[in-house]
A and B are shown apart, each in its own frame.
Chain A
Amino acid sequence: MVDSVTPDAGFALTLASAQAGDEPAIVVLYRAYNPALLRFFAVQAPRVKEDLAQEVWAAVASSLTSFEGDEGRFRAWLFTIARRRSIDYWRLVRRRPPEASDELIDFAQAEQPDDLAIRAAVSELTAGLTAEQAEVVLLRVVAGLSVEHVAAIVHKSPGAVRVIQHRALRRLAQLTDRVVTP
């Protein structure tokens, strides 16, 4: 396991250096956010998670010089791009987009079962949830976004996001309770 690089403290400095083309600063950003991107895509588009993550970084690179904001905004921007890439992917393959609700995600039929422990945990986190619930949980838990940022990304009110999140975690708690206490 690699120590996570969290640029919270000196995010502004790291961002400025990365915008200037400083490679170590870019590495810091990559190490801080790429794992979350891959975990997000592991649920949303498992077959192409690496490709989509690279696309996100390419999109960030092409617009990084004009980005202004704190770490929270940068994280929200990153996952806004990620979500769009995921939707575009599903549109491209003419599959049902993951943002659609009312259908449970069946990870038993996942395109590419993931045996990595961390992604197994992510799979467990979203198992049994609707796509809408899974998306909110991924953005809140895996991406580490605030309710307000999630609301902005999924085009819902913060209140609606809290309701979705509450129902999702209640469902997960029921599932884990069953596992814990069979």
Chain B
Amino acid sequence: MMDELLDEPTADAIAGGDVDRDLLAPPLRALADLVDRARRPAEAEELASEDTVVQLFVQQLAASRAATQLDGVRRARAKRRAAKAIAALAIVAFTGTAAAATNQLPEAVQTAISDAGSHVGLHLPKAKHGPTASDDPSDADSDSDSGAETGASTDMSGKVGGQGPDATGSAKGGLCTAHFARGATTSEHAGGVAEDNLQAAATAAGQSVDEFCASAVHETSSSESESTPDQADDGAPSNNGGEKSQKPTDPGPPSDDPGASGDPNKAKKAKSPSTPGASGGS
């Protein structure tokens, strides 16, 4: 019977207090009364803790608001710090890239940035080697492909772009020694700019290069004989100054073997690429 009287919508209306009692069957009116009693307005006892709870509430709310404001300040500070850090990073990145692009960074940094940039498709120049770069043999080896050879050899060969040494000046002796050392078997342009300068100086003097250099070698021979006997051409100490003094005066026939010049360093350097089998067997 109760199932027929109390369907789901009626139950929902009673529970929600939204029901017309006059329309309810008598058994359901008692239920509606019970619901009403459970929803009666507050009794005084139910508000007995008002002062305590409200004070607690106010304090808790104030603490919460303070914490929220503090969080806001911290967040603002964090944002400002982050913005500064990002700006600094951007400046460093920009200036670093610009410096790297113009090859103005220290060698190690330049190389590192260049390598790093190559991974992301950014082409930055490799480090330029200064005169001190020749202190490290590995540097010279690594840069041999680029033609950026080190020290005097660059000037002597003239392979690197530039004016080359002045064949009429103090470099005349060295250029001529190199000319004879290269000999007839070398190609015309083996000496590069240096050889060209030598040729130009000889032409200006109305002589062939050999004639021009013959006098130069005599001049060098006479000047070297005045130098310290213990000092060789490359600055290495020598036990036989007399033997050393003979070398410039008689350079000997042009030869492919640089060792004929008596310079062991040059011999080692030249032999390796030309006769790999010989060096490997020794």
Contacts and interface: CB of A to CB of B under 8 A. Distances in A.
Interface string A134-146: 0001001110101
A172 interface: yes
Interface stretch (B24-32, B180-188, B227-235): B24-32
B163 interface: no
Contacts of B54: 23, 26-27, 30
Nearest to B16: A140
B41 A50 contact: no
B3 A2 contact: no
Contacts of A124: 34, 37-38
Interface in A55-71: 57-58, 60-66
Contact of B39 (A144, A163, A169): A144
Nearest to B69: A65
A76 interface: no
A34 B53 contact: yes
A124 B45 CA distance: 19
Interface string B28-66: 101100110111111111110110111011101111110
Interface of A is mostly: helix
A6 B34 CA distance: 21
B15 A2 contact: no
Interface stretch (A8-16, A79-87, A95-103, A115-123): A115-123
A72 to B, nearest CB: 12
B46 A118 contact: yes
B5 interface: yes
Interface in A103-121: 116-118, 121
A141 B38 contact: yes
Given A1-B43, A169-B14, A141 B56 contact: no
Given A1-B44, A34-B42, A141 B15 contact: yes
B12 interface: yes
A181 B26 CA distance: 10
Given A26-B54, A121-B34, A35 B43 contact: yes
Nearest to A145: B16
Which of A1, A117, A165, A173 has the most B CB atoms < 10 Å from its CB?
A173
Contact of B6 (A54, A121, A125, A169): A169
Contacts of B5: 173
Contacts of A125: 34-35, 38
A65 B68 contact: yes
Contact of A65 (B12, B56, B61): B61
B2 interface: yes
B50 A30 contact: yes
A162 B2 contact: no
B22 interface: no
A156 interface: no
A60 B57 contact: yes
Interface of B: 2-3, 5-8, 11-12, 14-17, 26-28, 30-31, 34-35, 37-47, 49-50, 52-54, 56-58, 60-65, 68
Given A4-B42, A35-B47, A61-B61, 19 more contacts: A1-B40, A4-B41, A18-B61, A21-B61, A34-B50, A39-B46, A57-B53, A57-B57, A116-B45, A117-B43, A124-B37, A142-B38, A162-B8, A165-B11, A169-B11, A172-B34, A173-B5, A180-B26, A181-B27
7 closest cross-chain pairs (CB), A and B? A61-B60, A4-B41, A121-B37, A35-B42, A35-B46, A176-B30, A177-B27
